[in-house]
Amino acid sequence: MPKKNSKSLYIAALALLLLGVGYLAATGVASSTVYHLQIAEALALPPAKPIPVRLAGAVKAEGISPLAEGIGVRFQIRDHEDPTKSLWAVYRGAVPDLFAPDAAVILEGSYEGPEQEFQASKLTTLCPTKYEKKLEETQQS
C-alpha cells in the first residue's frame, strides 16, 4: 500500500504544479496586453476604467508645458492620418532630447476615454526623417 499512496501523492503534486504554472502564465499574458491604437481610435473609445494603451502620433506645437510638480511634460499628441484629431497627454519623467513640436512619438500608458488626459508611463521619440535625407545627400556627394 505505501507504493500506491506515494504514486497518488506525486500525481497530486504534479497537478498542483501544472495548475500553478498555468495560472501564472494566464495572468502574466493578461496583464501585459497593450492595445496599439491611433489617436482617432482612442478618441472613439467609450469612457471606462483605465486600460493599457500604446499610442503613436506627433507632438502638436501648441500647448507644450513642463509640469509644475516635478520632471515631465504636458502636451497634445495628434493623429498621423487625421491631424484634426488630438488628445492631451501627461508624461512624468525625463523628457527625451528629440522631444519637440512635430516630433513623432510613441506613448505607453493608461487611458480612460476622451474626457481624460492620457497618462503616459513611457515616452519614446522616433528619429526624424530629416536626418535620413541629410545622410542620403552626404552619401551621394
Residue 15 domain flag: no
* Number of domains the chain is built from: 1
Residue 18 domain flag: no
| Cβ–Cβ under 8 Å, residues 128 and 104 | yes
Tens-binned pLDDT, residue by residue, of the chain (141 aa): 455 678 888 888 888 888 888 887 777 655 556 677 888 888 887 777 777 889 999 999 998 999 988 899 999 999 988 888 999 999 999 999 889 999 999 999 988 777 778 999 999 998 766 555 544 554 455
Residue 80 domain flag: yes
Residue 27 domain flag: no
Residue 117 domain flag: yes
pTM of the model: 0.65
Copy the grid coordinates of residue 29: 499574458
Query: What is the CATH classification number for the domain harbouring 101?
Result: 2.40.50.140
Residue 11 domain flag: no
Give the ranges where the chain is alpha helix by DSSP (H).
Answer: 2-31, 39-44, 129-140
| Cβ–Cβ under 8 Å, residues 105 and 75 | no
Torsional class of 11: left (φ above 0), alpha (ψ -120 to 50), beta (otherwise): alpha
Q: Taking the alpha carbons of 57, 59, 65, 68 in that order, is the dihedral positive or negative?
A: positive
Q: Which residues span the domain enclosing 49?
A: 35-128
